[in-house]
């Protein structure tokens, strides 16, 4: 998971890219979880919880635009996180991206 830059202002559009890979020679059933945490506000929101079947040798990316509104008068730092869980609910892969909202 990555974003197109690290600092954002109101009216910006953040481009979040999520890439899922399967290096095995068999299909894998996984659930993708994507969430946002803003530690200084004790805030967490699940943005996506979606099952996927990844074919063998898959390398699949998608871009999600996130509009940055006026999310308060104070700057803050946010952490985007993703994790892939297998069907036994074991984490198979995870990633984090830190971003800052500026006025």
Domain boundaries defined on the chain: 2-101
Note the pLDDT of residue 86. Answer: 82
Note the pLDDT of residue 32. Answer: 93
Note the pLDDT of residue 88. Answer: 74
Q: Which fold has domain 2-101?
A: Immunoglobulin-like (2.60.40)
pTM of the model: 0.80
Note the pLDDT of residue 96. Answer: 62
Note the pLDDT of residue 97. Answer: 61
Q: Which residues of the chain have pLDDT under 50?
A: none
- b/e string for 27-65 if b means 16 or more Cβ within 10 A? ebebbbbbebbbeeeeeeeeeeeeeeebeeeeeeeeeee
């Amino acid at each position: 998971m990555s974003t197109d830059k690290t600092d954002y202002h109101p009216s910006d559009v953040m481009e979040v890219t999520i890439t899922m890979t399967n290096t095995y020679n068999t299909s894998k059933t996984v659930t993708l979880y994507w969430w946002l945490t803003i530690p200084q506000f004790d805030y967490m929101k699940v943005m996506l919880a979606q099952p996927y079947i990844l074919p063998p040798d898959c390398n699949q990316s998608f871009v999600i635009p996130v509009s940055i509104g006026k999310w308060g008068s104070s700057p803050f730092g946010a952490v985007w996180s993703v994790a892939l869980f297998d069907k036994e609910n074991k984490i198979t892969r995870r990633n984090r991206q830190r971003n800052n909202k500026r006025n």
